[in-house]
Structure 1
Amino acid sequence: MGTPLIAFRLSIVLFTRIPIIAPQGLGFAFAFYINRQKEKPDFILLESARMFHYAVNYYFKQKTTMTPSITFIILYSLMPAALMFIGGGLASIYQPGNQITSATQHFAAGVVFAAVAKELLPKIGAYHDSIALIIGFSLGVFGMLFLKWLASRLEDLEQQKKGLSWGLLTAVGIDLLVDGILIGVSFLAGEKGGILIAIALSIEIFFLGLSTTSTLGARQVSAPIRLLASFILALLIPIGAGLGASLLIHLPQTVTNVILSFGVAALLYLVTEELLIEAHEVRETPLITLCFFVGFLLILLLEGLAA
């Protein structure tokens, strides 16, 4: 058992070091070729080989240091994507009560609100860039209002009462894509803020998967088609996160502030106009209301423990 384990570990080391080893090998191979061609190689050729070696090495190092951050963000976006698919699968056998759904939505709203207050707002306020704040925040508000109008229009245009509801699927797809982008953008405020937003949105997306699949079931859509629709919709989350994460690379601070302001406005809209509006559709009890403050307090406690 020892030899296969050693071989496995060696293969992992070699795989992770190939981007660094490969350019070095290319450079040395080039220099060796020159030495084989001439007994006294030309100085310019040797310097060209050396420059080639360092240039390729630098390029690969840049790629290897750049990729893990985006990969890390996309991996965290797989959590809400998985919960979207799981929620879609569970809808066929289990449907949580309205009280449980409302309490969970209150809790998720509290987590998102606290994460915005503790992680995103301090980053924006640290630079005192009023113009970037106004532009980004305005784009976030009007962008979310436009998406809400578009989603309602798509659902209103739906005529048939049975089969796939393309208006519903399109509206949910847009919502999930925006959620993925918000996860990616939230990492602009730091790893901790992005993780908190990803966890909070995972709760919301889980119930979105439940409700979407239940609606399709009521329209007599078969179970395999419902699962396929949930899977395709779930893929939009890491796609959106990848788009949001791509904004992390080599941006001026002013543009970063605009994007963060956009994310703050969009997340506040998510809390006030989606999560809490839907949560208040059922009869509210003090215990359900308390869940919002429990979610908010949890983030404050985690912040204290981290400090």
Structure 2
Amino acid sequence: MQTESYLSLTGLTATYGQTRAVDRLTLEIPKGELLSLLGPSGCGKSTTLRMIAGFVPPSEGSVVVNGKDITRQPPHRRNIGVVFQSYALFPHLTALDNVGFGLRMRNFPRATCREKAQVALATVGLEAFANRYPSELSGGQQQRVALARALVIEPDLLLLDEPLSNLDANLRGEMRDEIRSLQQRLGITTIFVTHDQQEALAMSDRVAVMEGGLIREIGTPRQLCDTPASAFTASFLGARTVVNGAATGGVFTAPGLTCEGAPEGASALVLRAARLRLAETPTGPLSLGGELKSVAYLGETFETEVITPAGPIRVITPSDLPPPPVGATCSINALPGATTFI
């Protein structure tokens, strides 16, 4: 992957009255990268996407694609493919005509539109469904049509705004893998908006974690999971507990808790739930005990909550390691990689 910037967002700002939905956002994205904007509802990720697409004019800042400033260009002149959460297919058009619509709006000859639309449908595995209407397609098939429509114009950028949220869990995982495989095969620079941590981690080269219109942290999925730099990132990525305290002489302390190996000045300990274990006695660098409050069996894992003097701690264990009964007193031990200090 190239390292020079292909998409540059500089000081991008969206203001509504006294509210800044996006606040001076700056990003450099190399060609061929899939970057996810991850964050809770209302954090500004979809607004950012719409400013890139041209649907929302920025109050400040610029959008530059491959050295060309497109900040003030209308959407239809940006050569950007967009897939929305609702797919936005025309109900009165067949799959083939839906895919070819953008080409017709660009005044391509009818025969060219048909040929390119057929190729795009084949790319997403729907060449046999060309003459079906959206009402005759499943949710996953409609999503593929929307993706083909975005790709048929050979866009400079592909923007995906929560495209999987209307699908059931099994199909969502399947489509997640298909989109990632297609994106890598085509080498198209892509921005993926989601509030789902698993989607962002599974699909992305990098993830930008947003809160309150700001990017709080950006990094590879592994960097954000293993060494988060902020308490917000650690807590939002899920299956982690952030405990506030202080470190002195290499030992982090909080009410009822000590943990060795802390850097001087650390003010928070991040406990990764899947790398914690419940035991009768403490071992390893972490010393923390409490009462088991709840247990949920999820097939492959048990998810538990332990009430401790440092607060509730989430622990996820494999299903072949059943936890003690609810109400039992237990110690929480840390496997390698379970603790990070902030």
TM-score higher than 0.5: no
Q: TM (normalized to structure 1)?
A: 0.25
Bigger Rg, which one: 1
Q: TM (normalized to structure 2)?
A: 0.23
Higher relative contact order (CA 8 A, sep 6+): 1
**By percentage of residues, which structure has more helix?**
1
